[in-house]
Amino acid sequence: MEGPGHRERFLMEKPVYLDYHATTPLDPRVLEAMLPFFGRRFGNAASRSHRYGWEAEKAVEQARRQVAELAGATAREIVFTSGATESDNLALKGAMEAYRSRGNHIVTMATEHKAVLDTVRRLERMGARATVLPPEPDGLLDLGRLRGAIQPDTVLVSVMYANNEIGVIQPVCEIGAICREKGVLFHSDAAQALGKVAVDAAACQADLMSFSAHKMCGPKGVGALYVRRHPPVRLAPQIDGGGHEWGMRSGTLNVPAIVGFGEACALCAAEMAAEAARVGGLRDRLKARLEAELPGVYVNGSMTRRLPGNLNMSFRGVDGEALLLSLPDVALSTGSACTSATVEPSFVLAALGVGRDLAHSTLRFGLGRFTTEEEVEYAARRVIESVRKLRVLAPV
């Protein structure tokens, strides 16, 4: 199977896909690696008495090493889950339960993914206290504010690596250093970061880090949680039954998906630097085109600390939902796929201080591995046409 140049498979399919933060196309090379495990290599990785189980276990352990290598971890620190949402739940609930004797306080940010914010709310209903820090206008966390929020009974700080809406990359290593200095655990949801930018969980002194395969051209339904071993982090399991994954996450392992996750990580390890440069160039080209052709457009979040494939823009005087409806040939979103059913403006943009009208006029562009120059030019042209038309026909 050819490498990342093999883009004709997706070339100018309609609608043009620019929603890579919601999910990514499965790389054909990942599918090829997975296929045998749907067929003749169907064994259960927990079956230790015959070749079918040994084959499955060997494949799982290879994938574990591949994920660990990309994440700056050791294989023994990777716990496979069903995805980043489960990893976030296991990290937060598991840590707060395991370290109950230390305290009941957790610190997080207002711009976190719902998988973290909703879990924090559940913990609050169970008696925990939470401090939810606002971002600066550029989306970044004020480190001084974080220092001030950590209290004697703080157990855990949870700050995402890269935001799923505005693409802003937090100063994760600095946050990890503060947490280590203060003696509290640090968790980061790195679902959007792994495979797109360099991630090193150990170097950043993270204790827990969540990953997801389908954000990096891998399969849906599989992810991992990094759990630091030295010194060891304790977690109370949230799923019981069988003691799989060193007792932290019971359940029969999804071998085909785990193999795909490992292959996706191996491909990113080999190709990420070149891919980030290419995708970042396309993103900048899209931004320049929209800004040159349309007045009243605004980028949300820092452009200097940002995922290479992310562009979150507001178009003054246009309703975002109307804009999406006028673009059936371009697959975009107004925000997180997990909150796309709501008519309320993005809570992430609200936390940044973006006004309600401007927040309602926002599109999230997500570019990735199979995005082409032709698609970017087509999408720019269509957005420009639609914004101009809506500003005349239905101004907001």
Q: What are phi and psi of 99, to 5 degrees?
A: -110, 30
Q: Provide the token pair at 219.
A: 């399969």
- Kindly list the distances between the CA atom of residue 151 and the CA atoms of 97, 118, 136, 158, 234, in Å, as whole numbers in the listed order: 18, 22, 21, 14, 21
Helices (H), the chain: 28-34, 51-71, 84-98, 114-125, 143-149, 172-182, 255-293, 320-325, 347-352, 356-359, 373-393
Crossing angle of the two packed helices 51-71 and 255-293, in degrees rounded to 10: 30
Does 268 participate in catalysis according to the annotation? no
Per-residue burial over 258-292, b = 16 or more CB atoms within 10 Å of its CB, e = otherwise: bbbbbbbbbbbeebbeebbebbbebbeebbebbee
Q: What is the helix (H) or strand (E) element at residue 153, kind and residue range?
A: none
The answer to whether the CB of 300 falls within 8 A of the CB of 137 is no
The answer to whether the CB of 223 falls within 8 A of the CB of 213 is yes
Q: What is the helix (H) or strand (E) element at residue 294, kind and residue range?
A: none
Active-site positions? 338
